[in-house]
Amino acid sequence: MSLAMQALGFDVEQVRRDFPILGRKVRGRQLVYLDNAATTQKPQQVIDRLVKYYREENSNVHRGVHYLSEVATTAYESARVVIQRFLNARSEKEVIITRGTTEGINLVAQTWGRVNVREGDEVLITAIEHHSNIVPWQLLCAEKGATLRVAPVNDEGEVIVEEYAKLLNERTKIVAFGHASNALGTINPVRQMTQLAHDAGAIVIIDGAQGVPHLPIDVQEIGCDFYAFSGHKVYGPTGIGALYGRESLLDAMPPWMGGGDMILSVSFEKTTYNALPYKFEAGTPNIADTIGLATALEFVASLGLENIASHEHDLLTYATGRLQEIAGLRIIGTARQKASVISFTLEGVHPHDIGTILDQEGIAIRTGHHCAQPLMMRFNVPATGRASFGLYNTRAEADALVDGLRKVIEVFR
Amino acid sequence: MSDLRELYQQVILDHNKNPRNYREMPNASRKVEGYNPLCGDHYTIFLQIDGDAITDVSFTGNGCAISKASASVMSSMVKGKSRDEAAKLFDTFHRLVTGDASGLDAAELGRLAAFSGVSEFPARVKCATLAWHTLNAALKGDGESVTTE
């Protein structure tokens, strides 16, 4: 990072040059990419790192005595340390490499959950959860005869903490909630919610898929027991992510998948499992993308997490104001603490039609239920349009969105 | 805007705003729900069947302009038709929206022609065909609901 950039804090035009895809045209128009909550674009640094790995370092990890295996193992394990520091976990043993947030949540449900949740117990989630933080708990509850409880949200899309606290009791074994909502942008008071859950004797897992891209994360400060996130939401490759878990809990948990790498010794009579974190990493891992994920985390750290948060907050405020100029536009999700995600409906026009018309202008937004159908029902909408901003978006792109929406209205007038 | 005007033709905008046969049918002989989980489009199709004839069609529900207009046009076109004639219309419509329109003439298409622009938008084919798939399920009498997935 240049000194000039540091002095200015954050130069979005310079940052954009690191993302080659932002220069391309879509349907003859300059791409305006506002679907970052679905997945983010990748900087050249990440693309280059993946290429370098496959061109110069590719080998299997943890077992070879040859040179390339050592190089690959070092790169893979260094990546784990980068993730550990990014989350401020105590030790790299607390970082399990996964395919993403969904796998992390399922891992906890199927290991800690299956051992510790019994008939009559309760699992508590909130009304703004993504399907990936609902269904794994439904599966667990169905298997164990446990009950899934749901903390309600208010009309702004904020979890009602008093109601949440009331639902906690001695039967509550697991509490699972998102750090930030993918559908509405709401940022949950994760520290307070974790403390309340711990007071009731439950463990806490946080779905960090939308937290990591927007907020500095410190799992020790939050106090949670598990924190899952996905690399592709934070400018890294798809199909890679990590699960933070408290070491004492991970130690006591049974393995999830069996196979190579997760064992110390195998005989037909008895198998001894490997130490943490390898106990939870059966099979050859996704080496290249783990290394690519570390490069992405280093990239955002070099820009400054506070700088990114403040840039995105400026975009959120600006875009919210501009969108409110449009008659008939309703913003769903008006929490006081919000990530740069704006869900909206337009009177008389279905979101799907909005998405198609904006696409003709080169503007990519998400339309639909955002894998949060219960939440859509809560707000009595079948679907919304969602513009989600990343670190490389600009005010001009928010203006382009507003102009595009005016075209939508023109078509449907 | 030319592609958009092709997609959102006046007939579609009109049927979206003022859908025909948009009502429940309490004494329907067939009632089937159609659902597109991808975008949340959700319709219920009601049929009155007398022997081989579809004597009445209505629908309720909500979704995008393409799906609602398609349900509306479908309802007005298959009313009074035989099962075979309705199946043939679906086949014609399906070919039109999937870009296999060779050999289809204007007379055969009638109001269906308004959906000719859909073939340029592959992501919207499911919207256009949802009501027709639901009709098909209702005519076959299999199950209570149908999805596009």
Q: Residue A297 and residue A233: Cα distance in Å, rounded? A: 11
Give A383's contacts in chain B (Cβ within 8 Å): 39-40
What CATH number should be reported for the domain holding residue A368?
A: 3.90.1150.10
> Both A33 and A78 in a single domain?
no
* Minimum Cα–Cα distance from A357: chain B residue: B4
Instruction: Give the pLDDT band (50/70/90) at residue A5.
Output: very low
Q: Is the peptide bond before B122 cis (omega within 30 degrees of 0)?
A: no
The verdict on B22 touching A (C-beta cutoff 8 Å) is no
Q: Is A408 at the interface with chain B, CB within 8 A?
A: no
Q: Are the Cβ atoms of B123 and A407 closer than 8 angstroms?
A: no
Average pLDDT in the B2-22 region? 91
Please give the Cα distance from A204 to A193 (Å, whole number).
9
Assess B4–A contact: CB distance below 8 Å, yes or no.
yes
Q: Is-contact A69 A61, C-beta < 8 A?
A: yes
Put simply, the answer to whether B65 touches A350 (Cβ < 8 Å) is: yes
| Choice between A375 and A398, residue whose per-residue pLDDT is larger | A398
A244-265 mean pLDDT: 93
Residue A103 has pLDDT above 70, yes or no: yes
Domain identity same for A101 and A23: no
Q: Does A351 touch chain B (CB under 8 A)?
A: yes
Cβ contacts (< 8 Å) between B148 and chain A: which residues? none
pLDDT of A373 reads 85
From chain B residues 32-71, the ones with a CB under 8 A of any chain A CB are: 38-42, 62-66, 68
Q: Which of B16, B64, B148 to mutate to test the interface with A (most CBs of A within 10 A)?
A: B64
Could you tell me which residue, A9 or A391, shows the higher pLDDT? A391
Interchain pair B39, A351: CB under 8 A: yes
Q: Are residues A82 and A143 in the same domain?
A: yes
Instruction: Name the average pLDDT for chain A.
Output: 95
Closest CA to A151 of A141, A139, A162, A135: A162
In this complex, do B63 and A412 lie within 8 Å of one another by their Cβ atoms? no
Residue B143 has pLDDT above 80, yes or no: no
User: What does the pLDDT average to over A61-84?
Assistant: 94
Q: What is the pLDDT of residue B142?
A: 56
Q: Considering only CA atoms, which of A36, A35, A32 is closest in space to residue A24? A: A32
One-letter identity of residue B120: E
Domain that holds residue B109: 2-147
Interatomic CA distance for residues A291 and A231, integer angstroms: 11
Number of domains in chain A: 2
3-state secondary structure A263-275: EEEECCCCEEECC
Hey, what are A217's tokens? 């994360």
Q: Which of B39, B42, B43, B120 to mutate to test the interface with A (most CBs of A within 10 A)?
A: B39
Q: How many angstroms separate the first and last alpha carbons of chain B?
A: 30
Are the beta carbons of A172 and A124 closer than 8 angstroms?
Answer: yes
The answer on A77 and A13 residing in a single domain is: no
pLDDT single digits (tens) B77-114: 999 999 999 999 999 999 999 988 887 877 778 889 99
Q: How far apart are CA B119 and CA B97, in angstroms?
A: 5
Average pLDDT on A366-370 reads: 88
Is residue A191 within 8 Å of A221, Cβ to Cβ?
A: yes
Mean pLDDT over A49-53 rounds to: 98
Residue B121 forms contact with A (CB below 8 Å)? yes
- Give the structural domain span for A18: 3-43+304-412
B40–A369: do the CB atoms touch at under 8 Å? yes
Q: How far apart are CA B93 and CA B111, in angstroms?
A: 10
Mean pLDDT in residue range A283-299? 97
B47 Cβ neighbours under 8 A, 6+ residues apart: B25, B28, B29, B30, B31, B54, B56, B57, B135, B138, B139
Q: What is the pLDDT of residue A8?
A: 53
Q: Which residues of A touch B127 (CB under 8 A)?
A: 352
Residues of B in contact with A357 (CB under 8 A): 4
Output the pTM of the full model.
0.92
Q: Nearest 5 degrees, angle CA A4-CA A6-CA A10?
A: 100
pLDDT exceeds cutoff 90 at B70: yes
pLDDT at A1: 41
Q: Cα–Cα distance between B141 and B149 in angstroms, integer?
A: 19
Domain match, A254 and A374 both: no
Distance CA(A326)–CA(B77), nearest Å, equals: 37
A310 and A297 fall within a common domain: no
Q: Using CA atoms, how far apart are residues A276 and A251, in angstroms rounded to an integer?
A: 7
Nearest to B42 among A356, A382, A411 (CB): A382
Distance from the Cα of A353 to chain B's closest Cα (Å) equals 6
- Same domain (yes/no): A160, A29: no
> Does residue A67 sit in the same domain as residue A78?
yes
Picking from B5, B40, B64, the nearest residue to A353 by CB comes out as B64
Stretch A387-405: mean pLDDT: 98
Same domain, A283 and A364: no
Q: What is the pLDDT of residue B36?
A: 86
Task: Please compute the mean of the pLDDT values over residues A254-277 and round it to a whole number.
Answer: 90
A210 and A359 belong to one structural domain = no
Into how many domains does chain B fold?
1
Q: What is the pLDDT of residue B148?
A: 58
Please give the structure tokens belonging to residue A371.
């894998």
A337 pLDDT more than 70 = yes
A vs B, Cβ pairs < 8 A, gives 53
On chain B, the residues whose CB falls within 8 A of the CB of A350 are 39, 62-65, 68
Contact B135, B74 (CB under 8 A): yes
A184-209 per-position pLDDT tens digit: 999 999 999 999 999 999 999 999 99
Q: How far apart are CA A63 and CA A228, in angstroms?
A: 27
User: What three-state secondary structure class fits A95?
Assistant: strand
Give the catalytic positions of A in this structure.
371
| Residue percentage of chain A with pLDDT more than 90 | 89
A11, A101: one domain: no
pLDDT above 80: residue B144: no
Q: What's residue A2's pLDDT?
A: 42
Average pLDDT score, chain B = 89
Q: Does A412 touch chain B (CB under 8 A)?
A: yes
How confident is residue B146, by pLDDT bands cut at 50, 70 and 90?
A: low
Compare CB distances from B63 to A350, A373, A411 and report the shortest one's residue. Answer: A350
Range from A42-51, A324-333, B108-117, B127-136 carrying the lowest mean pLDDT: B108-117
One-letter-per-residue 3-state SS of chain B: CHHHHHHCCHHHHHHHHCCCCECCCCCCCEEEEEEECCCCEEEEEEEEEECCEEEEEEEEEECCHHHHHHHHHHHHHHCCCEHHHHHHHHHHHHHHHCCCCCCCCHHHHHHHHHHHHHHHCHHHHHHHHHHHHHHHHHHHCCCCEEECC
Q: Indicate whether A90 and A194 sit together in one domain.
A: yes
Contact A382 B62 (CB under 8 A): yes
Residue numbers in B near A409 (CB within 8 A): none
Q: What is the pLDDT of residue A3?
A: 41
Phi then psi for residue A129, to 5 deg, are -75, 150
- Domain boundary among the residues A270, A301, A332 is at A301
The position carrying tokens 């804090």 is: A9
The CATH number linked to B14 is 3.90.1010.10
* Domain boundary pick from A279, A301, A323: A301
A352 lies within 8 A of chain B by CB = yes
Residues of B within 8 A of A360 (CB-CB) are 1, 3-4
CB B1 to CB A349 under 8 A?
no
